[in-house]
Amino acid sequence: MIVKSAAQQSDVIVLGAGIVGVCVALHLQKRGKSVVLVDRKEPGEETSYGNAGLIECSSVMPYGAPRELGTLLRYGLNRSADVRFDWSYLPQIAPWLWRFWRESAPKRLKKAASDMWPLISRSVAEHEALASEAGATSELHRSGWIETFRKPGSLAKAKAAAGDLAPFGVRYEVLDADSLREREPHLSNEFVGGVHWLDPATVRDPGGLVKSYAKAFFQRGGTFHKADASNLVNDGIRWRLNLESQSLFAQEVVVALGPWADDVARRLGYRLPFVVKRGYHVHYSAKAGATLNHPVFDADGGYVLSPMRQGVRLATGIEFAPRDSRPNFSQLDFVEPLARRTFPLQGRIESEPWMGSRPCLPDMRPIIGNAPRHKGLWFAFGHNHHGLTLGPVTGRLLAEMMTGRVAFTDPRPYAMDRFS
Ligand SMILES: Cc1cc2nc3c(=O)[nH]c(=O)nc-3n(C[C@H](O)[C@H](O)[C@H](O)COP(=O)(O)OP(=O)(O)OC[C@H]3O[C@@H](n4cnc5c(N)ncnc54)[C@H](O)[C@@H]3O)c2cc1C
């Protein structure tokens, strides 16, 4: 990657070069702003690297808290692969969990779905537009992903839930065991069927996609500093970011630091109900002759298998644990035998699995908009389970707001003042 020497003064400094920061930078640049991007790593090497690779326009209903007692108990007792609690963390996150549970009541969840739909429904089109500009169209696969079920009852429930999405025009096919095997010949015959979600795009190298978008930003004159973003100061007139050997100045700053965004927001005096849901992945080579054509979510097993550039990526569900505490690989270890039964996996490719954190707000909406108490400070974070999906559309919306254009959708559902 070409790293240009920093202009001291720019219109905007974007903090964070994950999918969200890079897309914000690109969209601002397209609207005539000079933009400097800052990250302590190269673009796309944190959460935006490690996800399951779904550009998930069929997830209309946000992932709310379960309401059934049995499921809650299973989760609470850590008897489920899809959720694990570090109980010592509970006192810290109890208020968040309570709020999340309240926001997951059916009526509120429906409202969250309709608030998120303007973003979700454009997600694939916005990726396609950026990918085309970046010469990265071949990185987006348009064959959807498959949710598989081991129990007839689970399949029936999923069928009904998919039917409820009819008003949104989401396309899917219900598969019986035979048609599932036609699409995925090497999948175990333990599955009774599945739902093939046809509209989502999938990516086999999510970090690589972010790098392609970042390259387009650099080719158009955008600059990048590999540096720490913590030393952000407002001198009353403009923003200053002190780097080791120089300072960057700008009238406006965007905080797009994903799971680390709250650190900077807190330092500036904003106390947000922000929690991370950690997740893990590890890659496997497939046994000779076995291929996985689509990402497959084993809904009864609680993990995803995605075909990736590195191999088959086994990605876990949610872990509630402090962002920076030591990894606990028990969810991976728990699902690995099941995953091996599901698909002919060979050995692990990495000696140490990857761990990352989904940045989450309890009402399941991101924050996209201005920080109410600072002129020129903007936030773009909290994209939950769908940051890869929502990066480009977030970039468009924020850039439209920052440049005084008519926003393509009403941004109020994502405003920060909903938490004040
Ligand atoms: C296991 C798992 C599976 C997932 N699957 C999917 C999926 O299939 N589809 C989907 O849409 N989403 C998925 N997600 C969620 C998605 O990956 C995230 O929502 C998204 O990547 C967040 O992007 P971001 O740009 O906000 O954060 P990040 O990609 O984490 O970017 C933040 C950047 O800030 C930088 N940074 C942090 N602190 C500093 C600092 N002090 N100074 C300088 N730089 C700093 C980091 O280096 C990083 O590059 C998944 C997440 C996990 C964990």
For residue 1, the SS3 value is: coil
Residue 48 has pLDDT above 90, yes or no: yes
Q: Is residue 226 lining ligand 1, measured as CB closer than 6 Å?
A: no
- Number of residues that make up the chain: 420
* 244-264: pLDDT as tens digits: 889 999 999 999 999 999 999
How remote is the CA of residue 171 from the centroid of ligand 1, in Å? Answer: 28
Poorest-pLDDT segment among 2-6, 172-176, 204-208, 273-277: 2-6
Cα–Cα distance, 392 to 387 (Å, whole number): 9
Structure tokens given for 407 = 């926003």
Cα–Cα distance, 382 to 359 (Å, whole number): 5
How remote is the CA of residue 46 from the centroid of ligand 1, in Å? Answer: 5
Query: Residue for token digits 């005084």?
Result: 404
CA 269 to chain centre: 26
**CA 75, 80, 82, 88 torsion-angle sign:** positive
pTM beyond 0.85: yes
Cα–Cα distance, 373 to 378 (Å, whole number): 11
Q: Is residue 193 lining ligand 1, measured as CB closer than 6 Å?
A: no
* 258-292: pLDDT as tens digits: 999 999 999 999 999 999 999 999 999 999 999 99
Residue 4 has pLDDT above 60, yes or no: no
What does 64-126 look like in DSSP terms, one character per residue? -----HHHHHHHHTT--SSEEE-GGGHHHHHHHHHHHHHHTSHHHHHHHHHHHHHHHTTHHHH
Residue 214 has pLDDT above 80, yes or no: yes
Mean pLDDT of 302-306: 97
Phi-psi region of 417 (alpha: psi -120 to 50; beta: other; left: phi over 0): alpha
Q: Is residue 40 lining ligand 1, measured as CB closer than 6 Å?
A: yes
Q: In testing the pocket of ligand 1, which one of 120, 260, 296, 394 has its CB within 8 Å of the most ligand atoms? A: 260
* 81-125: pLDDT as tens digits: 789 999 899 999 999 999 999 999 999 999 999 999 999 999 999
C-beta contacts of 68-76 below 8 A and 24+ residues apart: none
* 121-148: pLDDT as tens digits: 999 999 999 999 999 999 999 999 999 9
Residue nearest to atom 16 of ligand 1 (CA): 387
Band of the pLDDT at 3, cuts 50, 70, 90? very low
Please report how the helices 206-219 and 123-133 are oriented relative to each other, as an axis angle in degrees rounded to 10. 50
Q: Return the percentage of the chain with pLDDT > 90, whole number.
A: 91
Band of the pLDDT at 2, cuts 50, 70, 90? very low
Residue nearest to atom 51 of ligand 1 (CA): 51
Closest atom of ligand 1 relative to the 388 alpha carbon = 11
pLDDT at 32: 98
pLDDT at 235: 86
Name the residue type at position 181.
R
C-alpha pair distances (Å), 1 with each of 30, 67, 317: 20, 48, 33
Q: Using the 8-state DSSP alphabet, how is residue 350 labeled?
A: S
How remote is the CA of residue 149 from the centroid of ligand 1, in Å? Answer: 29
C-alpha pair distances (Å), 339 with each of 278, 284, 336, 364: 20, 11, 5, 29
The closest of 321, 319, 349, 323 to 46, measured between CA atoms, is 323
Q: In testing the pocket of ligand 1, which one of 257, 276, 297 has its CB within 8 Å of the most ligand atoms? A: 257
The better pLDDT of the pair 130, 7 is held by 130
For residue 291, the SS3 value is: coil
Cα–Cα distance, 158 to 170 (Å, whole number): 14
Q: Is residue 37 lining ligand 1, measured as CB closer than 6 Å?
A: no
* Burial class of residue 352 (count of CB atoms within 10 Å of its CB; 0-12, 13-18, 19+): exposed
How remote is the CA of residue 22 from the centroid of ligand 1, in Å? Answer: 11
* Burial class of residue 399 (count of CB atoms within 10 Å of its CB; 0-12, 13-18, 19+): buried
How remote is the CA of residue 163 from the centroid of ligand 1, in Å? Answer: 31
Q: Is residue 339 lining ligand 1, measured as CB closer than 6 Å?
A: no
User: Mean pLDDT score of the chain, rounded to an integer?
Assistant: 95
Give residue limits of the domains in the chain: 1-64+104-140+202-273+363-420, 145-198
Q: Which CATH number fits domain 1-64+104-140+202-273+363-420: 3.50.50.60, 1.20.58.220, 3.40.50.1370, 1.10.620.20?
A: 3.50.50.60
Residue 378 has pLDDT above 80, yes or no: yes
pLDDT at 70: 75
Mean pLDDT of 169-173: 97
pLDDT at 98: 95
Closest atom of ligand 1 relative to the 280 alpha carbon = 1
Mean pLDDT of 196-217: 98
Name the residue type at position 276.
V
* 332-371: pLDDT as tens digits: 999 999 999 999 999 999 999 999 999 999 999 999 999 9
For residue 275, the SS3 value is: strand
Cα–Cα distance, 174 to 158 (Å, whole number): 9
The closest of 311, 359, 361, 401 to 46, measured between CA atoms, is 359
Q: Is residue 276 lining ligand 1, measured as CB closer than 6 Å?
A: no
